[in-house]
Structure 1
Amino acid sequence: MKGYMDKQSTKDKQSNKGKNFIGTVLSIHTAKTAKVEVGYIRKHPMYKKALNRTRRFACHNELTDMRVGDTVEICQIRPMSRTKHFSIVRKM
């Protein structure tokens, strides 16, 4: 059929673009916002020691069964507010 486009779900589109991280839910502020902490390892440029670092992201949360301490996958989306640039894709 001419002009037909295969539609994907929004979760499929979100996971294909931008950065994806796996982190831990720290707090759930409101029904639609959760704070997620993502850990990573960097090496010191001079001494080459491995340093554990963390970043915290405010994430849009559509899932209702989310609790503090859950491991989740987040992906980058368009800005939804001043601090929310990520969305929770799924619970691990």
Structure 2
Amino acid sequence: MEHTPSRSVRSAQDLRPQSFVGVVVKTAMKDTATVRVDRYVKNAKYKKYFVRSKKYLAHDPGNTVKVGDTVTIVATRPISKLKHFAIDPAKTVSGNGGEN
């Protein structure tokens, strides 16, 4: 009988935290930014692609980002009831400024 590895064994790539690229849409809260993440979805019947968006609350210590900036958010431990992501400062790109 041959030994097969169990499904619980994971590679280092599987253990990497989840990350998304999005645009900052709101910075009104202390140490928090609202980031909109867009993804393309294909309609099964008509084969047309359209955009679906979701907003995430991300931890931003010191309020360093501005509305319109493109940022990468990385999954982290739960910081509050709705905040489970943190902004990666190394991968932040200044945007058009926006309002605020």
TM-score normalised over the length of structure 1: 0.75
- Higher relative helix content: 1
Name structure 1 gaps, 5 residues minimum.
Answer: 1-15
In the superposition, relative to structure 1, how do residues 45 and 38 fare at CA in structure 2: closer, same or farther (>3 Å)? same
Q: What secondary structure is seen at the aligned counterpart in 1 of 2:88?
A: strand
Question: For residues 7-59 of structure 1, what are the alpha-carbon distances to aligned partners after superposition, in whole Å with 9 as ceiling and x for unaligned?
Answer: xxxxxxxxx73211111100112231000001110101222110111110000
In structure 2, the residue matched to 1:33 is 32
Task: Tell which has more relative contact order, 1 or 2 (C-alpha 8 A, sep 6+).
Answer: 1
What is the identity percentage for the equivalent residue pairs of Structure 1 and Structure 2? Answer: 34
Instruction: State how far apart, in whole Å, the 2-side matches of 1:63 and 1:38 are.
Output: 22
Name structure 2 gaps, 5 residues minimum.
Answer: 1-14, 94-100
- Higher relative strand content: 1
In structure 2, the residue matched to 1:5 is none
Instruction: State how far apart, in whole Å, the 2-side matches of 1:61 and 1:74 are.
Output: 10
How many angstroms does 1:63 deviate by?
Answer: 4.9
TM-score normalised over the length of structure 2: 0.69
In structure 2, the residue matched to 1:60 is 59
Instruction: State how far apart, in whole Å, the 1-side matches of 2:80 and 2:64 are.
Output: 23
What is the total number of aligned residue pairs between the two structures? 77
